[in-house]
Amino acid sequence: MARVIVDVMLKPEILDPQGQAIARALPRLGFSGVSDVRQGKRFEVEIEGPADEAALSDVRKMAETLLANTVIEDFTVHIES
Amino acid sequence: MSAARVGVVTFPGTLDDQDAARAVRLAGAEAVPLWHAERDLKGVDAVFLPGGFSYGDYLRCGAISRFAPLMEEIVPAARAGLPVLGTCNGFQILCEAHLLPGALTRNQGLHYVCRDQRIRVENADTAWTAEFERGQEIVLPVKHGEGRYVADAETIEALESEGRVVFRYAGGNPNGSLNDIAGITSEAGNVVGLMPHPEHAVEELTGAPSVDGRGFFTSILKNLVNA
């Protein structure tokens, strides 16, 4: 059993109005010094076998096919230690 | 001759399929219900993907519907020239399925927008817009939270230079869509997607702001008769 994490973020050039709304709310709550916030998604994929290269390659394929829309989003894949 | 047959697709969470079927029938065509889980297009002459919240908009709007068994039939048929119209969630599904470029993202103002919207027809040569005139302004309802059309600069440039922006918002952009884009078409002009709802603007009786939506269905009928 292993857990593979897929992080999905809107590409930098894609406007993120949710992140902007969060960034605007922070100073009101007393958090200063924040210049920007971007909001993304995190997927925790539990795999049955070991997190070897074949498994990671499968997860990358899942990310490309379904978890992320690569037209507007980038993703990264890593094993949770 | 027998009436043209327009398939109306229902996914779990589709809302506008009954209005879509009604609009198709009002135009004089036969509305053929198509179920997402079947791999059967039932020999229809055109397909209408209506709006709603298929699969609850989980993950991304249209992301899961795109892999429905029926879509595996629709995608190659559309690439081969079958006329396909997607409105609202249907447009989102067409983008997720890569039948149309770009994507629909969260409205710039973050609010769900529901209003009567002026729209300018920019391309009256597609299978679904031939009964309009270029530059004509129509009024259709919009109702969506994720309708901001985005694509990379190259794609936008290509859409603009090839005349593939079919509809543009007029009198105010409801969602922050790039270049005020409300709807686009495929290279061949058979696939059209737009956020506004022609199927909700076909009858005065329903309190629709216009009956401008009828033009979509008369266009496709004429297209099929002449085909």
Domain boundaries, chain A: 2-79
What average pLDDT does the segment B14-30 reach? 96
Cβ count near A21 (within 10 Å): 13
Question: pLDDT, tens digit, for every residue of B136-171?
Answer: 999 999 999 999 999 999 999 999 999 999 999 999
3-state class of A17 per DSSP? Answer: helix
Q: In this predicted structure, what is the pLDDT of residue B3?
A: 82
Active site residue B197: yes
Looking at the complex, report in whole angstroms how far the Cα of residue A30 sits from the nearest Cα belonging to chain B: 23
| Interface residues from chain A to B (CB-CB < 8 Å) | 10, 13-15, 17-18, 21, 66-67, 69, 71-72
Active site residue B88: yes
| Interface residues from chain B to A (CB-CB < 8 Å) | 59-60, 63-64, 67, 95-96, 101-103, 105-110, 148, 150-152, 176
pLDDT at B133 over 90: yes
Return the percentage of chain B with pLDDT > 70, whole number.
99
Q: Which of B36, B144, B197, B200 is catalytic?
A: B197
Cα–Cα nearest to A20, from A32, A4, A9, A35: A35
Q: In this predicted structure, what is the pLDDT of residue A70?
A: 96
CATH number of the B5-226 domain? 3.40.50.880
Return the percentage of chain B with pLDDT > 90, whole number.
94
What average pLDDT does the segment B47-51 reach? 98
Q: In this predicted structure, what is the pLDDT of residue B106?
A: 96
A71–B103 CB contact, under 8 Å: yes
Question: What is the third-level CATH fold of A2-79?
Answer: Mth169; Chain: A , (3.30.1280)
Q: In this predicted structure, what is the pLDDT of residue B59?
A: 95
What average pLDDT does chain B have? 96
3-state class of A57 per DSSP? Answer: helix
Residues in chain B closer than 8 A to A67 (CB atoms): 59
Which residues in chain B belong to E strands, given as ranges? 5-10, 30-35, 46-49, 84-87, 103-105, 113-121, 137-144, 148-150, 165-170, 181-185, 191-194
B205: confidence class by pLDDT, cuts 50, 70, 90: confident
Residues in chain B closer than 8 A to A10 (CB atoms): 105
ipTM of the predicted assembly exceeds 0.85: yes
Specify the DSSP element, H or E, that contains A74: strand A73-79
Alpha carbon A77 to its chain's center: 9
Domain boundaries, chain B: 5-226
Active site residue B61: no
Question: pLDDT, tens digit, for every residue of A16-57?
Answer: 999 999 999 999 999 999 999 999 999 999 999 999 999 999
In the chain, the amino acid numbered B128 is W
pTM to 2 decimals?
Answer: 0.94
Question: pLDDT, tens digit, for every residue of B90-116?
Answer: 999 999 999 999 999 999 999 999 999
Q: Residues B114, B143: contact at Cβ < 8 Å?
A: yes
